[in-house]
Structure 1
Amino acid sequence: MSTPTTMTDETEDWNTRHRAEGPLNRADRNFAELLQELRVVFTGVQVLFGFLLTMSVSERFKELDDFQHGMFVTTLAGAAATSTLLVAPVAAHRFLFRRNRKRELVRAGHCLAMAGLGFLALTLAAGLMLVLDIAVGRVASIIGVTVLLSGTLVLWVLVPLGLRRDSCAAPVLSDPAP
């Protein structure tokens, strides 16, 4: 009678067979992939953060009402939090460098990146709310943000979860039939 294996064990076996990749090589590859993903996201967050910083010293900033000021502060704080979360895996890597903790770093980096993406969604929504409120009014801004958050939920959460569920149901970890 065989003992049940975990998905991690099966994935490790699959990586070893099909990629000739051991657990540490896989952790190195996963961390490199994570850093590449963070580079893509971080650039946009930094552009948004820089724009917000310059907006606060513009003449038009004084014309914002209390709600718009609140949205500005929310967007600025969200961009700062997003930046902090997205850079955290790099900072953690510096602290853990040459300490043989790459697998833990990948797990923690994944969690930090997911939190950063959550804050990014909220930051984008707050920024859109602010700009649309100024440009076309409060009702239109609420509709715009609702559409954005709905699309984000579908594209960032539901589609990946659907793909993950489909991949779990398929026999991807076994060798193909001859």
Structure 2
Amino acid sequence: MTEDGRRRGRNETEEERADRMWGELIQEVRVAQTGVQILFGFLLTVVFTPKYSQLAATDQAIYIGTVVLGACATGALIGPVSLHRLVAGRRVKPQAVRLASRMTLVGLLLLLATMTSSLLLILRVATHDGYVPYLVSAVVAWYLVCWYGLPLWARRWHTTEPGDRPVPPKTEDGGPGRR
């Protein structure tokens, strides 16, 4: 069997793996796209409300930055769809999956920044209290744990190569941990 046709862990060829990974990626992107599009749509309407003209210059600057971040996040998260359309049938799916995956990761980072600045703006306008940056920081920390910390932890401790045994995490005393 040639190297290109060799089967891997799931007993699939590179093309089969790319097809599966593409399907999984598109499902994941659908979730993020919906959220960013709703948020971006909402942000676009704010400037047309009477309250916008009453915002302090700092809050207006935060709003403008938030809208730009939302536009960039939308572009990055819709990008994989355009990529797929433009390269379909060109026999480059494995490369397209890798590129679309990177675009999605960038889109998620931009979405995180958009949500952070949106939360900051809303809480600044709603409360005018000094604790707002701390509250926003706590929410961002939560997003980072959910979106990156736990997935990276799972990838580190629960990923194995075919034939390998999983390595359990160590406890504080250096002994093997429980799963």
Give the TM-score of the pair, scaled to structure 1: 0.85
Q: CA deviation at 1:140?
A: 2.6
Give the distance between the partners of 2:72 and 2:22, measured in 1 at CA. Answer: 21
Percent identical pairs in the alignment equals: 32
Does the aligned pair in 2 maintain the 1:14–1:174 contact within 8 Å? no
Q: CA deviation at 1:138?
A: 4.8
> Which residue of 96, 99, 103 maps to 1:112?
103
Structure 2 equivalent of residue 173 of structure 1: 162
> Which residue of 13, 18, 33 maps to 1:42?
33
Cα deviation code 1:113-162 (max 9, x no counterpart)? 00000001110000000000001125232112101111112111111111
Structure 1 equivalent of residue 48 of structure 2: 57
Instruction: Supply the RMSD in Å over aligned alpha carbons.
Output: 1.9
Q: SS at the partner of 1:14? A: coil
Give the distance between the partners of 1:174 and 1:47, measured in 2 at CA. Answer: 45
Read off the aligned partner of 2:8 and give its amino acid letter: D
Structure 2 equivalent of residue 86 of structure 1: 77
Higher relative contact order (CA 8 A, sep 6+): 1
Structure 2 equivalent of residue 13 of structure 1: 8
Give the distance between the partners of 2:75 and 2:120, measured in 1 at CA. Answer: 22
Does the aligned pair in 2 maintain the 1:85–1:112 contact within 8 Å? yes
Q: 1:142 to 1:112 in 2, by over 3 A?
A: same
Read off the aligned partner of 2:24 and give its amino acid letter: E
Read off the aligned partner of 1:36 and give its amino acid letter: Q
Cα deviation code 1:25-61 (max 9, x no counterpart)? 1101111111111111111111111111111101111
Give the distance between the partners of 1:154 and 1:92, measured in 2 at CA. Answer: 30
Structure 2 equivalent of residue 66 of structure 1: 57
Superposed, 1:87-166 pairs within 5 Å as 87-166=78-157
Moved over 6 A (4+): none
Give the distance between the partners of 2:91 and 2:53, measured in 1 at CA. Answer: 52
Q: Which runs of 5 or more residues in structure 1 are unaligned?
A: 1-8
Does the aligned pair in 2 maintain the 1:128–1:144 contact within 8 Å? no
Q: Which moved more, 1:135-144 or 1:43-52?
A: 135-144
Give the distance between the partners of 2:164 and 2:156, measured in 1 at CA. Answer: 19
Does the aligned pair in 2 maintain the 1:130–1:141 contact within 8 Å? no
Q: 1:137 to 1:157 in 2, by over 3 A?
A: same
Q: CA deviation at 1:175?
A: 8.1
Give the distance between the partners of 1:130 and 1:110, measured in 2 at CA. Answer: 30
The count of aligned residue pairs is: 161
- Greater fraction of residues in helix: 1
